[in-house]
Structure 1
Amino acid sequence: MNTRRNLIKGGLAALPLVLAGMLPASAMAQAKIKVAAVYTVPYEQQWVSRIHQALKAAESRGEIEYKSSENVANADYERVMREYATGGAQLMFGEVFGVEAAARKVAKDFPKTAFVMGSSGKPVAPNFSVFDNYIQEPAYLSGMIAGGMTKSNKIGLVGGFPIPEVNRLMHAFMEGAKEVNPKVEFTVSFINSWFDPPKAKEATFAMIDKGADVLYAERFGVSDAAKEKGKLAIGNVINTQAQYPDTVVASALWHMEPSVDRAIQAVKAGTYKAEDYGPYSMMKHKGSSLAPLGTFEKKVPADLAAKVKAREADILAGKFTVKVNDSQPKTTAK
């Protein structure tokens, strides 16, 4: 009797292994795909932090195995990409501004690896997809708030580099400000760095000295300067109001989850193809949003808040389109 019971028990224990052997090898192997990311800046940098956060969320759900490298110099970018690809990465993320040619060369050499890279260029079949922070819609809304909050009618904008990804957000912000305040003037400055808070801070001080009382913080460092001088700031990509409760009025937020999750599911399903993921950063896909006013809920005039809310509803309903202008924005202040 005991022998029979043990045989039955042993057979049941082995059943999962038998069933597993009946499953297609591809289905088993892709239960948790290998994902890698290569970043040229620290994880904390606004832009990269959104990608990293979305991938960490997928990792915590048990969907992927995630490895990444931060602060990779442009000269080392290709080498690191190749190491991850050779190591079995099935899907790779990163930002390739400045290393476009090298990154695309790696993708060509590893056609079975899916690449989804931040890029100003176009996707290339079969495996090189691109994405962009198409958050011009909430940038426009945050500009409306800035235009309504300025008392001097002078707004300063500090950006990293004058590339399309930055330019379009600044233009949208400026157009939003002009909608509610046609008298507003802008001072625009680029620090030629993606992560140099001290330099951004100095550029902001110069704008404040010329009368700017609301600052667009496209880079870290701007809100610090605004806080020190008792001025207001508008955030970009992430919400830093918790760190600057009396300074950051609102922020245009970027949510990379729709793009990241789309790529993961496509690789898992074996349907991945090269495409432009940029549109998945738009509000209708929940790829971006205007941050809650939070500590400024009662400080922003009710009529201004109502205008912003109405314009947001128009955007989501497809009744209003924020124009994409990738040209370098110019200073209008005299």
Structure 2
Amino acid sequence: MFKLTKRRLLSAATFAAASLAIPASFAQDSGAKDKVKAAFVYVGPVGDFGWTYAHDEARKCMVEQLGDKVETTFVENVAEGPDSERVIRQLAQDGADIVFTTSFGFMNPTIKVAKQFPDVKFEHATGYQTGSDNMSLYNAKFYQGRAVLGTIAGKMSESGKAGYIASFPIPEVVMGINAFTLAAKKVNPDFETQVVWVNSWYDPAKEADAANALLSQGADVITQHTDSPAPLQAAEKAGAIAFGQASDMSSFAPNAHMTAIVDDWCPYYVKRVEAVLDGSWEADNVWLGMADGEVVMSPFSDKMPEDVKEAAQKVYDDTKAGTYEVFTGPITDQSGEVRVPEGETLSEEDLLKMDWYVEGVKS
């Protein structure tokens, strides 16, 4: 369905089916180690302040926690395809004990290299397929944070219109757009989300142009599923509110930035490297969220009214406690069809193949 690229899916249905087909864990015999060499492969620059920045901050956090028990290295700006396979193989050849490949487009290269180096552990972010028992999968439920953002947008927007700068129309992004819109409509039933696709994960110029276009069309809230601070800066100039992506971006837009979804990969990286250290590492396939501490929110802006802070905090707390799920019905799509009946909740399988938009999304 979609061309293979960063965090993209060949087929939403294939993703869901394959995810369910992967066993929960594969035991792998491994002796304990005194020190682990961990390597990271990044699709973007560590200074993007988004996706790659969050992964690298987690790497540094892991080093702080594990000290001299771990030695790390990373390669940034790795293009997907042959280049990534070469980089992954070189890291394995150079003695890495575990290699984290942090972009969807690294999936097939990781599978290929993992088969060639059975004594090295491989961890792939956001993929759906493995090929050997020395390769693991990990992902985060970013959509849970989108519900917090939507709650804030619904309560603070005066126009009732938000602009959403989106990367690619894949389930990860679609479910984020829908979660944001559903949460906003719980506050304001007439709320609308206008989506602009930039077909890139990191392109500051395109992102800024998209934000300015949305603002000129009446949006007074800007949110994004792209990685640069450019949309925030556009919102700052226009006097609108906005949200960071993957990390706290408040320094770029101190007036506009209300909060951000923070991708906190550190606990996962610490856990997985510790498992290599003590010899307990097993391949796994996990999709972690707020309850696991992997999806968190940056501090709420002082410019948010107290009632907005309370509403946003409640969504966060209830999601973390498992008592709130944004994809609970009734949910109607753009055509007016009821997709989720009242009282029912979409399954993870259905979320992972989501290819439709809720009422209120203008795409």
- Corresponding residue of 1:15: none
Asked which structure has the greater CA Rg, the reply is: 1
Provide the secondary structure at the position in 1 that maps to 2:105. coil
Contact 2:100–2:123, Cα closer than 8 Å, also in 1 = yes
Pair 1:142–1:63, CA change in 2 (3 A)? farther
What amino acid sits opposite 2:62 in the alignment?
A: A
- The separation in 1 between residues aligned to 2:259 and 2:126, in whole angstroms, is 27
What amino acid sits opposite 1:307 in the alignment?
A: A
Match of 1:73 among 75, 79, 86: 79
- The separation in 2 between residues aligned to 1:141 and 1:254, in whole angstroms, is 14
- Corresponding residue of 2:272: 263
Match of 1:44 among 27, 43, 47: 47
Give CA-to-partner distance per residue, 1:183-229, whole Å, 9 cap, x none.
11111122111210100111111111111110103222211221222
Contact 2:37–2:97, Cα closer than 8 Å, also in 1 = yes
Aligned-residue offset at 1:320: 1.5
Contact 2:233–2:252, Cα closer than 8 Å, also in 1 = no
How large is the RMSD of aligned CA atoms in angstroms?
A: 2.0
Provide the secondary structure at the position in 1 that maps to 2:104. coil
Contact 2:111–2:132, Cα closer than 8 Å, also in 1 = no
- Corresponding residue of 1:22: none
- The separation in 1 between residues aligned to 2:206 and 2:313, in whole angstroms, is 35
Contact 2:195–2:362, Cα closer than 8 Å, also in 1 = no
What amino acid sits opposite 1:34 in the alignment?
A: K
What amino acid sits opposite 1:201 in the alignment?
A: A
Aligned-residue offset at 1:333: 4.1
Match of 1:86 among 81, 93, 98: 93
Contact 1:96–1:103, Cα closer than 8 Å, also in 2 = no
TM-score by length of 2: 0.78
Unaligned runs of 5+ in 2: 1-30, 328-347
- The separation in 2 between residues aligned to 1:167 and 1:275, in whole angstroms, is 25
Stretches (4+) displaced over 4 A: 328-331
Structure number with higher helix proportion = 1
Provide the secondary structure at the position in 1 that maps to 2:200. coil
Match of 1:161 among 158, 161, 168: 168
- Corresponding residue of 1:143: 150
Q: Does 1:305 align with 2:309?
A: yes
Aligned-residue offset at 1:132: 1.7
- Corresponding residue of 2:223: 216
TM-score by length of 1: 0.84
Relative contact order (C-alpha < 8 Å, sep 6+): which is higher? Answer: 2
Provide the secondary structure at the position in 2 that maps to 1:34. strand
Map 1:1-334 → 2, pairs under 5 A: 27=32, 30-45=33-48, 46-60=50-64, 61-74=67-80, 75-219=82-226, 220=228, 221-279=230-288, 282-296=289-303, 300-323=304-327, 325-326=351-352, 327-328=354-355, 330=357, 332-333=361-362
- Corresponding residue of 1:5: none
Give CA-to-partner distance per residue, 1:203-258, whole Å, 9 cap, x none.
11111111111010322221122122221112221111122110111212111012
Contact 2:36–2:71, Cα closer than 8 Å, also in 1 = yes
Contact 1:147–1:177, Cα closer than 8 Å, also in 2 = yes
Aligned-residue offset at 1:76: 0.7
Give CA-to-partner distance per residue, 1:253-292, whole Å, 9 cap, x none.
111012111211111121212112322xx11121121222
Provide the secondary structure at the position in 2 that maps to 1:235. strand
What amino acid sits opposite 1:59 in the alignment?
A: V
Aligned-residue offset at 1:123: 4.4
What amino acid sits opposite 2:259 in the alignment?
A: A
Unaligned runs of 5+ in 1: 1-25
Identity of aligned residues (%): 29
